A and B are shown apart, each in its own frame.
Chain A
Amino acid sequence: DQQVKQNSPSLSVQEGRISILNCDYTNSMFDYFLWYKKYPAEGPTFLISISSIKDKNEDGRFTVFLNKSAKHLSLHIVPSQPGDSAVYFCAAISNSGYALNFGKGTSLLVTP
């Protein structure tokens, strides 16, 4: 049973524009959410995270928004750059365990 869902397998955005990647979850016990970026032949790289007690966290060009009532989070990348082209995974974890629960990923392509 997929507890974290990324319903868009792919997204194409022009360089300089905003990229918005979405993620939904079903388990209300999750209290920490993370985004990872993955290039081919590499492991996932931690990008940004947010605690369930916050609704926004910003780090440079990357901002994560959390809507707990809707069980929805999104990652905004502004401005998008060609080097951002990768697969982005949303993950969630509860404070009682070690398991990161991942979505299936969204492949982002940023075109010049």
Chain B
Amino acid sequence: ETGVTQSPTHLIKTRGQQVTLRCSSQSGHNTVSWYQQALGQGPQFIFPYYREEENGRGNFPPRFSGLQFPNYSSELNVNALELDDSALYLCASSLERGRSYEQYFGPGTRLTVT
């Protein structure tokens, strides 16, 4: 069984730039959720993708967007980067809602915005 993988591991960007982060879900899982974890905080929910569609959103602006592909992998795109976007970005895969509540996390991508 393959776990959740994320790429890249680390990334440094300049304010105003755009970034794309990638996630491959655990085998057998069809839902991917993205979270942002700032230093000293718990992960904050951004949005989930199920059946290639966004299914709800946490308190994040539209410049945070995503995609899910037919193989259930997913991308998180952030436009017009701000200094406060510096954080660990985590993706979590799961079975669809109603079958299981457990979400399994990848190792994360550390984004630094300068």
Contacts and interface: CB of A to CB of B under 8 A. Distances in A.
Contact of A34 (B41, B45, B48, B102): B102
Contact of B31 (A49, A95, A98, A101): A98
Interface in B81-114: 90, 92, 94, 97-98, 101-108
B43 A44 contact: yes
B33 A102 contact: no
A88 to B, nearest CB: 11
Contacts, number: 64
Contacts of B55: 98
Interface residues of B, number: 29
A45 interface: yes
Q: Chain B binding site: helix, strand, loop or mixed by DSSP?
A: loop
B42 interface: yes
Given A43-B107, A44-B90, A32 B41 contact: no
Interface residues of A, number: 24
Interface string A34-46: 1010000111111
Given A95-B101, A98-B31, 12 more contacts: A34-B101, A43-B6, A45-B105, A93-B101, A98-B33, A98-B56, A98-B94, A100-B103, A101-B45, A102-B42, A102-B43, A104-B41
Interface of B: 4, 6, 31, 33, 35, 40-45, 48, 50, 55-56, 58, 90, 92, 94, 97-98, 101-108
